Chains A and B, each alone.
Chain A
Amino acid sequence: MRLSTFVLIAIAVAAVVFGVSRGIQNDYVFFAGYVVLNYIVLATAWNILGGYCGYVNFGSAAFFALGAYSTVALHKLWPMPIPMLILIGGIVSGIVGLGMGYLTLRLRGAFFAIATLAMAVVLQTLIINWDYVGGSRGAYIIRPQNLEIAGFQLPYVQYLFALMLALTVAAVAVARAIERSSLGYGFATIRDDELAAEACGVPTLKLKLIATALSGAFMGMSGAPFPYYIGYLEPSSAFGLQYAVNSIAMPMIGGTTSWIGPLIGAVLLGSLQQIATVTISSAVNLLIVGVLLVAFVIIAPNGIVGLVQERRRARGPR
């Protein structure tokens, strides 16, 4: 299937999802759906660096928060439409990712992973100390009631939902495009054997930087609308534990070798968590995600996609 066809189908699916959601006369669908879509973007973004290249990023929350706080910082300077904020959030996160990557990606993957973990803590420290964006007290962003578009009043949460749908389509399309391209082959060789990759002419550092920048950018883009969604942004929610663990658990449980894995993982785990939050505490929720992550990593390292592939292979050629 050509990329353009894929994108058209994806847009069509997104349009259907939006239409159906509007049909269900319940705002909760949009609130919960936004979160699940957000996770799809985060999981897909993580997988570009983690699943395709084999470099683990533990600081997804940091990139996400960078996007959110870029919005807060700019909102005070001069307000601008959210799509612009998304772009800027992406650029900021992409540049930070690039910078950190440049410092650490020439060394082993383990050092990059450790640096991302430490970076998340440090960024949180910096934000807590930065009064301009509210520091530890947090910042309020008033969400307008409706968005006026072509004379039609769209409830703001539906607008945010639609934006996140668009971002999801973009992220998944980019992931798939990478997979089938020479970039995808390059990433795979970095994951399999970096030394042999270099010997084959693959510019490993350049490709790793591309992956880090793309991954960070998408995470930042997903964070940019967040202050509008949540209304009150404080560091502990922007840097929340759930972003760190979910952006790793979802692709690893879904399957890291293709764009479908993070999608499946995010939809499944994301929906489960949304349902569970109403019945059990959020801490137990997260505990279950953590346990699932460890269980899958030990028992089913190739995730759900891997399990399905094994089933197919076991059944033998038709």
Chain B
Amino acid sequence: MAISPELLLNAIVAGLLLGGFYVAVTVGVSVSFGILDIVNIAHPAFIILGSYIAYIVNTRLGVDPIVVAFVMLPVFYALGAAVYEVYYQSFERRGQEALRGLAFFFGLLFITEVALILVFGVDYRYVQAGYIGPTWRIGFVDFPLRMLVPCVISLLMMGALQMFLSRSFTGRAIMAVAQDQQALRLMAVNPIRIKRIAFAISIATASLAGAFLIVIQPVEPSVGREYIGRVFAICVLGGLGSMPGTVIAAMLLGIVESITSTFYGPSWSPAVAFGLLLLTLAFRPAGLLGR
């Protein structure tokens, strides 16, 4: 098989754009799993929820899906806070996270998917927006706008989050709560409140990620499950708790998936992430930039 340089370069560029999108999808789990040590496998469910909300408002009122997502940020934030409260009271406080906490999130993932099937059916849903369709061309390289716009906004969001975590008091408290809850208490900061804020932020990012998702590809309820492997593969590969690591790993995965898809067909994409996850766990569980 002759590998033309144009095809390869396009695959890489597509992979980078995809990677940017994957950053948005993963950043929530980087916070909840990487920093708070909460194995929220239901995160893709919240993303899909975001996708469907964007779909409804876009179809009924014609509002741009990404705008919808921004408007929904406070709602998702509140949802995240509520979910954390239940998780904390029922499991974290009693030390039951390992088995029951996991089962709880699995239940949420499952309920969301089935509820969406009941309400929307299994048909693929699309959104309409000005940037879905046109493609910028620079030389022989394509930049589909429906990939470029989410990628750019996603990286901006990541930058904003990283600044929040490293500059603001709450942000640094969040980074601290992962390391030493006792020290936080001595500083008169309630670690539970900090964790709730962090978890709420992680769910809020799902709102945006959901909008990006339905802009990039048509969505149906079971799409969420494909992303679990990707999300945790990126988290682990990037090193738990490292935001820059998440970006690098997301780009890497995006490129590998894009090349595989271009040269071997798109149906192998889920396998790529999983293979990467297994390899990382087997050989370098601390990830590329892990703590």
Q: Please determine if A and B sit in direct contact within the complex, based on CB atoms under 8 angstroms apart.
A: yes
Known contacts being A122-B270, A122-B271, is A301 close to B100, with CB within 8 Å? yes
17 further A-B pairs in the complex, CB-CB below 8 A; given A293-B106, A294-B107: A58-B41, A58-B106, A103-B281, A109-B98, A111-B281, A111-B285, A118-B229, A118-B232, A119-B274, A122-B229, A129-B267, A129-B268, A281-B118, A290-B107, A291-B111, A293-B103, A301-B100
Distance from A310 Cβ to chain B, minimum over Cβ atoms (Å): 15
Given the known inter-chain contacts A119-B274, A122-B274, please indicate yes or no for A113 contacting B281, CB distance below 8 A.
Answer: no
Interface residues of A in 278-318 (CB under 8 A from B): 281, 283-284, 286-287, 290-291, 293-294, 297-298, 301
Asked whether, in the complex, the Cβ of B114 is within 8 Å of the Cβ of A286, the reply is yes
Q: Is the CB of B285 within 8 A of A107?
A: yes
Fill in one digit per residue for B16-58: 1 if any A CB lies within 8 Å of its CB, else 0: 0000000000000000010000010100000000000000000
Question: B113 an interface residue at 8 Å Cβ cutoff?
Answer: yes
Do B273 and A54 touch across chains, with their CB atoms under 8 A apart? no
On whether the beta carbons of A118 and B118 are closer than 8 Å, the reply is no
How many angstroms between the C-alpha atoms of A291 and B109 in the bound complex?
Answer: 11
Q: Is the interface of A mostly helix, strand, loop or mixed?
A: helix
List A residues 92-136 near B (Cβ within 8 Å).
100, 103-104, 107, 109-111, 113-115, 117-122, 125-126, 128-129
Residues of A within 8 A of B (CB): 50, 54, 56, 58, 100, 103-104, 107, 109-111, 113-115, 117-122, 125-126, 128-129, 191, 241, 244-245, 248-249, 252, 256, 281, 283-284, 286-287, 290-291, 293-294, 297-298, 301
Docked Cα-Cα span, A120 to B229, in Å, equals 10
Min distance, Cβ B236 to any Cβ of chain A, angstroms? 8
Q: Contact: A110 with B39, CB < 8 Å?
A: yes
Chain A residues within 8 Å of B67, by CB: none
Whether A54 and B267, one on each chain, are in contact in the complex, defined by CB atoms closer than 8 angstroms, is no
Q: Which residues of B contact A284 (CB under 8 A)?
A: 118
Most interface-central of B99, B233, B275 (chain A CB within 10 A) = B99
A297 touches B111 (CB 8 A): no
With A and B bound together, what is the CA distance between A241 and B107 in angstroms? Answer: 12
Confirm or deny: B225 has a beta carbon within 8 angstroms of a beta carbon on chain A.
yes
Q: A76 CA to B149 CA in the complex, in Å?
A: 50
- Of all chain B residues, the one with the shortest Cβ separation from A294 is B107
The B interface is mostly helix, strand or loop, or mixed, namely helix
- Chain B interface residue count, CB cutoff 8 Å, equals 41
B110, B115, B118, B270: the one contacting A125 at CB < 8 Å is B270
Q: Give residues 85-101 of B contacting A (CB, 8 Å).
A: 86, 90, 96, 98-100
The contact sample of 5 A-B pairs, CB cut-off 8 A, is A113-B39, A118-B228, A252-B103, A283-B118, A290-B107
Residues of B within 8 A of A128 (CB): 267
Contacts of A252 in B (CB 8 A): 100, 103
Shortest CB–CB separation between residue B253 and chain A, in angstroms?
13
A50 to B102, CA, bound (A): 11
Please tell me if the beta carbons of A294 and B228 are within 8 angstroms of each other in the complex. no
Does A290 contact B229, Cβ atoms closer than 8 Å?
Answer: no
